[in-house]
Structure 1
Amino acid sequence: MRKAKRASRLSMTSLIDVIFLLLLFFMLTSTFSKFSEVELMAAGSSVGASSDRPPLFLRLSPEALNLNGRDLAVEGLAEALGPEADVDSPRSLIVALAPEVTAQRLTDLLVVLRGVPGVTPMVLGGGT
């Protein structure tokens, strides 16, 4: 006759302790990132239409940035818009997007434009 093996019961206490320690470890070592916001306005609420000056035209593509026919870098955009900006009467800046432009590239541009007072950007949809 064979002896019946007795099923041993596992203790759940040590398993719960290990899970708690892992949870505590990952909570303390993880980093929490803060997401910033980019403020957008609807095209109908723009105040730039009352200006007598013609709007500026900016074409954004994945590798280039073109302001009124001049090629620029994103870093030099604020300096190029400085003489055009007027805080008393904001000037419209029409931003045309190439089809391949990513959301991150557009966000980078809008962050730069947010730092330029007196310029009101209006983003057109993607297209050629």
Structure 2
Amino acid sequence: MPVKLSPPKRGRMSMTSLIDVIFLLLLFFMLTSTFSKYGEVELMAAGKAATAEERQKLFVTLGPDQVTLNGQPVDLSRIADLVRSQPQDGQGHLVLISPDDAASSQRLVDLLAALRQVENLQTVVLG
């Protein structure tokens, strides 16, 4: 007597757990990513200033805890006002920045952000 074996019945696979996992992954990536806009810092090489001769030159030395403008110690929060008060010939100022070896890059970015407030200002970071 032949025995007929029927193939096992497959039940429907539940998609509920897959949807939950996808939702959790989506939520995780949304919460861990940053949506902030990063600021740009414009740097110019020392040799590329075409109109450098026409501008009033100012020299800023940047140390780890001190900033000097033309050899005089200044506060980083007031440097934009001091640069504005310097005499100029109408072309604006050229600020040559010489960072010390011990100065951090964050300090340089803070200085450039403070100087960005001045109109007709060109900054050159020296090696």
Q: Which TM-score applies when normalising by structure 2? A: 0.73
TM-superposition CA deviations, 1:19-67 (whole Å, max 9, x none): 212123224434411111112223333122224x5x2211101111111
- Give 5+ residue unaligned stretches, structure 1: 1-10
Cα distance in 1, alignment partners of residues 22 and 87 from structure 2: 57
For the aligned residue pairs, the C-alpha RMSD in angstroms reads 2.4
Match of 1:70 in 2: 72
Aligned partner of 2:54 in structure 1 is 50
Structure whose CA Rg is larger: 2
- Listed as ranges, the gaps of 5+ residues in structure 2 are 1-12
Match of 2:81 in 1: 79
Aligned counterpart, 1:8: none
What is the percentage of aligned positions where both structures have the same residue? 32
Task: State the distance in 2 between where 1:72 and 1:50 align.
Answer: 25
CA–CA distance in 1 between the matches of 2:87 and 2:121? Answer: 6
Q: Please report how far the alpha carbon of residue 122 of structure 1 lies from its aligned counterpart in structure 2 after TM superposition.
A: 1.5
1:105 to partner: Cα distance: 1.2
TM-score calculated relative to the size of structure 1: 0.72
Cα drift, residue 14 of structure 1 = 5.0
Q: How far does the alpha carbon of each residue in 1:51-109 deviate from its partner, in whole angstroms, 9 at most, with x for none?
A: 4x5x2211101111111222112110011111126483122221111102222111111
Q: How many residues align?
A: 113
